């Protein structure tokens, strides 16, 4: 294997790690991935959203493994968990409808560094408001259809790069009075059907036979890196949010937005 192929594998591993690290942290995986792909010179025509979808299958693997206990209880028809999953289904409906109606805009107009900057700043304001007004007292067992729909509607804003799917749904849960770790758990459970649908839809639309061996290896390495880093981040964040606020992520997001702005104005 030559130097070029080794570099491609290294880049795939970096992008996979970026996806896994930022998908569940409230910092925006799409925003980081767009910027990272541009800086590393990854061809959007050759990979682009298709590679992003492969990485989402990696993070899907991470969240399924971490929350396997909840999935197993659902399979065994545990009453409390079954009700929770019904709320998860309600919560993903708004994002599913929006994704179908505005797929082209998501794939083109929204994928710009300027959109990332606006999303980072707007999402940060939402985090601050949620931390200020949230009572952080409710358990998931008190959740209802109204809560699920509100969190689902908030998730629609995550189609704007920079907003952060996990961040905006956790913020919505906080605004509804849920404890941070409970809001995060609901957010991560919502990710399972969404990631599965988005990843499979995108990957079934390509001809795997048209990809070379190096392309397939690129996809595979990125997916594995996303799965490993994603699992570690979920484990960290669930412990972190039990005792800490979202404010450190707010400062990071503003810093990241400023760095992108400076890069664009070189």
Q: How many domains does the chain have?
A: 1
* Spatial distance between the Cα atoms of 124 and 253, rounded to a whole number of angstroms: 7
112: left (phi over 0), alpha (psi -120 to 50) or beta: beta
What pLDDT does 211 receive? 58
Q: Answer yes or no: are the C-beta atoms of 168 and 186 closer than 8 Å.
A: no
Of 102 and 149, more confident:
149
Range of the domain at 160: 3-264
The percent of residues in the chain predicted with pLDDT above 90, rounded, is: 51
Q: What is the pLDDT of residues 135-185, one digit of tens each?
A: 999 999 999 999 999 999 999 998 888 899 999 999 999 999 999 999 999
| Span 109-115, average pLDDT | 75
pLDDT band at 3 (very low <50, low <70, confident <90, very high): very low
Q: What is the pLDDT of residues 206-225, one digit of tens each?
A: 555 555 666 778 888 989 99
| Span 1-21, average pLDDT | 73
Supply the pTM of this predicted model: 0.87
- Mean pLDDT for the chain? 85
Which two tokens mark 58? 């990696």
Q: Answer yes or no: are the C-beta atoms of 137 and 179 closer than 8 Å.
A: yes
What pLDDT does 2 receive? 42
Q: What is the pLDDT of residues 34-80, one digit of tens each?
A: 787 777 776 555 555 567 777 888 999 999 999 998 888 887 777 77
């Amino acid at each position: 294997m030559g130097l070029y192929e080794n570099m491609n594998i290294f880049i795939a591993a970096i992008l996979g790690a970026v996806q896994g690290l930022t998908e569940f942290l409230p910092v925006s995986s799409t925003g980081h991935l767009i910027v990272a792909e541009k800086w590393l010179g990854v061809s959007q025509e050759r990979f682009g959203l298709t590679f992003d979808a492969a990485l989402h299958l990696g993070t899907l693997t991470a969240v399924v493994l971490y929350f396997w206990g909840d999935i197993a209880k659902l399979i065994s028809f545990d009453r409390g968990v079954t009700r929770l999953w019904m709320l998860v289904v309600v919560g993903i409906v708004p994002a599913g409808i929006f994704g179908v109606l505005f797929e082209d805009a998501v794939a083109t107009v929204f994928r710009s560094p300027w959109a990332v900057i606006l999303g980072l700043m707007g999402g940060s304001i939402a985090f601050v408001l949620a931390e200020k007004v949230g009572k952080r007292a409710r358990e998931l067992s008190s959740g209802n259809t109204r809560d699920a729909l509100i969190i689902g509607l908030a998730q629609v804003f995550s189609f704007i790069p920079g907003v952060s799917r996990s961040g905006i749904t956790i913020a919505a849960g906080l605004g509804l009075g849920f404890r941070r770790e409970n809001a995060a758990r609901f957010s991560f459970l919502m990710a399972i059907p969404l990631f599965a649908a988005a990843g499979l839809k995108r990957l079934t639309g390509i001809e795997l036979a048209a990809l070379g061996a190096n392309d397939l290896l690129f996809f595979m390495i990125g997916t594995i890196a996303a799965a490993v880093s994603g699992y570690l981040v979920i484990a960290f964040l669930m412990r972190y949010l039990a005792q800490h606020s979202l404010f450190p992520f707010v400062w990071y997001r503003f810093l990241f937005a400023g760095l992108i702005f400076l890069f664009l104005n070189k």
